[in-house]
Amino acid sequence: MLYTLVMMVCLTDMPQTCEQREQMVDGLAMNPGTAFMQAQPLVAQWIETHPGYFVRRWRVLPGRES
């Protein structure tokens, strides 16, 4: 199922400076709870590939486009 991973990301050195990032994700479970658990590694991967940022909060929204 198609989902949008929505993350509020902030600069590590300036935590008040944040922005919303959205990423389309396909192949997650239809059950929202299961999809949320499946998306956790995607959030971790984003953090690993974007040094200098941290994720303040995130969510998974079904069928949404940027």
Asked whether the predicted pLDDT for residue 65 surpasses 60, the reply is: no
For the stretch 5-64, pLDDT in tens is: 999 999 999 999 999 999 999 999 998 889 999 999 999 999 999 999 999 999 999 876
> How many of the other CB atoms lie within 10 Å of CB of 3?
25
Residue-level pLDDT at 63: 79
Phi-psi region of 28 (alpha: psi -120 to 50; beta: other; left: phi over 0): beta
The predicted structure's pLDDT at residue 64: 63
CA atoms within 13 A on the CB side of 40: 6
What is the model's pLDDT at position 62?
Answer: 85
Question: Beta-carbon neighbour count of residue 46 at 10 Å?
Answer: 17
Cα–Cα nearest to 36, from 44, 28, 45, 47: 28
pLDDT given for residue 56 in this prediction? 98
Contact (Cβ atoms closer than 8 angstroms) between residue 40 and residue 46: no
| pTM, two decimal places | 0.87
